[in-house]
Chains A and B, each alone.
Chain A
Amino acid sequence: MTAASLTGADAETKMPLKRRLKQAERARQIKALALVLPLLLFLLFTFAGPIAGMLWRAINDPEVRHVLPQTITALAEWDGKDLPDEKAYAALASDLQAARAAGTVAIAAKRLNYALNGFRTILTSTARNLKTLPEPGTAKETLGRINPAWRDRTTWTTIKNASGPVTGFYLLAALDLVRNADGAIVAAAPDQAIYREIFARTFLISLGVTALCLILGFPVAYLLASLPPGRSNLLMIFVLLPFWTSLLVRTCAWIVLLQSKGVVNDGLHWLGIIDEPLRLIYNRFGVCVAMTHVLLPFMILPLYSSMKAISPAYMRAAASLGAPPLTAFLRIYLPQTLPGIGAGSLLVFILALGYYITPALVGGAADQMISYFIALYTTETANWGLASALGAVLLLATVLLALVYGKLVQGQQVTGGMKN
């Protein structure tokens, strides 16, 4: 027997086994994936799909395209420098007649009015006054006579910019930007530019609440982590009970406590500190207090887990090497809690960014965060494009922060702040 045939025989007995193992493993993996698949499909339908739909709405621009199809086609070749030619005017006149018959003028008017204030009137009055189609060759003149706005280039660029099928209009608007008549991106008019301020406010409130949570949460987490398990478990109730209590109950409780005839004002009055009740609710103060109350457990729990993992031997070692307590704390203990501080702060910040219920109930008009406007444009004014665009910006901020959070807690076992 030669060496070659030996290894050949060896391979013969080995290979099938290897292959069999591989096959078994592959079957196992397919089975594992099959178990996850129902949830993935479910989330595709109830979560990913809806969010993708929202993002699509942020760039989708169907209204004008649907109502004024001939005009859009006619404007396709227009360079946007002078007024469009007679063909575009005739197309618009024909589109408006058809739209009036179909009752769809308002749909396009609403969309165009977002881009140019007053466009609603231009479009509806023109449609109303255009009794019959203009004679061939006179459309430009006729429309200009009905409404002088048709002699203005801006009117036409507005239609062209809204011709779809996709648009950056809503996304730009969400950042207080617009396209001018020449197609350049410029800052929106001051009276229209409100969203940067709202985003800044949202970030500021979230940042303030996060800072408050950290300041209040750190000593508590330290105490809970330092006490023997029996006692800390008992005190943990103080953190877990609010954590589990309904958000509505807690918000309601704060309103009861902080209102002008509430417990806090009565107490301060009784103590002789104040004569007139203080305004503690329906303002920024109330929002910050209630949000801090709601989010504090989300800070304490990750901080507690990270502190629990720090061996007390380090502090003893530092002390035995002659470090004063403050130095030992700042240079040995604090650095080891940084992952916990980062995770807790990011978690609280992410949750605060998207907050809706608490500011809606205890905030004034000047304390509403971005979520409020998303809800407002969805259910009240039905400006779905803008609602979706604001949602897209908020989603982007959340996803970016969540990615950082994911990197930060990688390796640690994190259960969304609910590990106890």
Chain B
Amino acid sequence: MSDAPSLRTPSQRIAWTTTIVISALVFIFLIAPILAIMPLSFSSGSYLTYPLPGLSLRWYDDFINSPRWMNSLKNSMIIGVASTALSMALGTLAALGLAQWKSRFKPLVLAFVLSPVVVPGVITAVGLYFFFAPIGLTGSYLGLILAHTALATPFVVITVGATLQSFDTNLARAAASLGASPLEAFRRVILPLILPGLASGALFAFATSFDEVVIVLFMAGPEQRTLPREMFSGIRENISPTITAAAVILTTVSVILLATLEALRRRNERLKGGGG
């Protein structure tokens, strides 16, 4: 174990080994449930137990041929993409503004902007339910998109804000001194540099919307049920293998999002390292 932090005494070695053993168990605890559910979706039987009686794609077939599941997938995509676009527009503007704004009220404004993350989902959902019902926004796509945007925007503000913090403002000044208009400087100098941050923000926003279920539970009509919402009722009633197929599809989306984010992070680190 050459990678341990300076292990000279036996007791240190024991402590380090214990750390590794406990960590390994925790890693198993974290990952095993997600891995265990996947093979079940390929089972040819209809019971969620091991050993699998045989392999088949019938539950995926079931998923694809079910109007209910496909509609929920479509809804998740529509609401996810729309609320990502809206939260990117609002969040990026706000992050740009907050980066320049100097005021003693700034921490207060920032706390307000970030508060949708902290406030329990049920409270937001109940508030929205009362607030949106009289104006016809419950049971509508627009209502859900607005609600998901409110939840997702804090992540955009944080991610884009962090990127702007490491952005060298002299570059913008240099562009201005070379005759670029503010808009041109933003489009040709600032934007390309903060693009990875924007992409991360968009991924976070999409993931937030794609995984959200409490607000959908309160606000969605039968037409707007999303994939997590459909899974919620499925789990409640009776877990069928089709739900495990849905779970695998959801997990695949998460893995793609995570991998993209990791690639962006590595690229960013490489660029930073190259810059000295």
Contact = CB atoms under 8 A, between A and B. Distances in A.
Contacts of B30: 238-239, 241-242, 293, 296-297
Nearest to A377: B126
A33 B109 CA distance: 11
B12 interface: yes
B85 interface: no
B26 A398 contact: no
Given A242-B30, A416-B155, A219 B211 contact: no
Given A46-B128, A245-B34, A38 B235 contact: no
Interface in A1-60: 28-29, 31-40, 42-43, 45-54, 57
B94 A357 contact: no
A50 B132 contact: yes
Contacts of B81: none
B90 A39 contact: yes
Interface stretch (A64-72, A130-138, A247-255, A335-343): A247-255
Contacts of A42: 90, 149-150, 153
Interface string B58-81: 000000000000000000000000
A40 B91 CA distance: 10
A217 B19 CA distance: 11
Contacts of B34: 241-242, 245, 249-250, 253
B149 A46 contact: yes
Interface string B30-61: 11111011001000000111100000000000
A219 B91 CA distance: 36
A374 B122 contact: yes
B100 A244 contact: no
Contacts of A251: 235
B33 A388 contact: no
Contacts of B147: 46
A137 B48 CA distance: 75
A188 B147 CA distance: 37
A379 B26 contact: no
A247 B228 contact: yes
Given A32-B101, A220-B27, A50 B235 contact: no
Interface string B103-143: 10000010111111111111111111111100000000000
A384 B113 CA distance: 27
B27 A238 contact: yes
B86 to A, nearest CB: 8
A114 interface: no
Contacts, number: 287
Nearest to B31: A238
A240 interface: yes
A47 B36 contact: no
Interface in A112-164: none
Contact of B97 (A32, A253, A266, A388): A32
Interface residues of B, number: 99
A226 interface: yes
Interface stretch (A75-83, A86-94, A178-186, A256-264): A256-264
Contacts of B125: 375
B265 interface: yes
B111 to A, nearest CB: 7
Contact of A361 (B96, B149, B207, B235): B235
Main secondary structure of the interface of A (DSSP, over half): helix
B93 interface: yes
Contact of A354 (B122, B130, B153): B122
A325 interface: yes
B239 interface: yes
B23 interface: yes
A335 to B, nearest CB: 18
Nearest to A34: B97
Given A54-B127, A227-B3, A246-B211, A325 B243 contact: no
Contact of A415 (B146, B162, B214): B162
A244 B109 contact: no
A37 B34 CA distance: 42
B84 interface: no
Contact of A325 (B11, B154, B155): B11
Interface in A255-280: 255-257, 259, 261-263, 266
A33 B97 CA distance: 6
A356 B174 CA distance: 51
Most central of A38, A49, A256, A316 by chain B CB within 10 Å: A256
Nearest to B5: A226
B27 to A, nearest CB: 4
Given A388-B126, A416-B117, A28 B100 contact: yes
Contact of B118 (A374, A402, A415): A402
B113 A39 contact: yes
B213 A247 contact: yes
Q: Which of A49, A223, A384 has its CB near the most chain B CB atoms (within 10 A)?
A: A223
B122 A391 contact: yes
B6 interface: yes
Contact of B120 (A255, A296, A371): A371
A216 B23 CA distance: 8
Given A217-B26, A398-B119, 17 more contacts: A34-B97, A36-B94, A36-B113, A39-B94, A46-B150, A47-B119, A219-B22, A241-B254, A242-B30, A244-B258, A245-B250, A256-B40, A262-B49, A315-B6, A371-B120, A378-B218, A395-B123
27 contacts: A29-B101, A29-B103, A32-B96, A36-B94, A42-B90, A42-B149, A46-B128, A46-B147, A46-B149, A47-B116, A47-B150, A49-B127, A50-B127, A227-B3, A247-B228, A248-B213, A248-B232, A248-B250, A249-B254, A262-B48, A263-B50, A293-B29, A312-B5, A361-B235, A378-B126, A398-B123, A402-B118
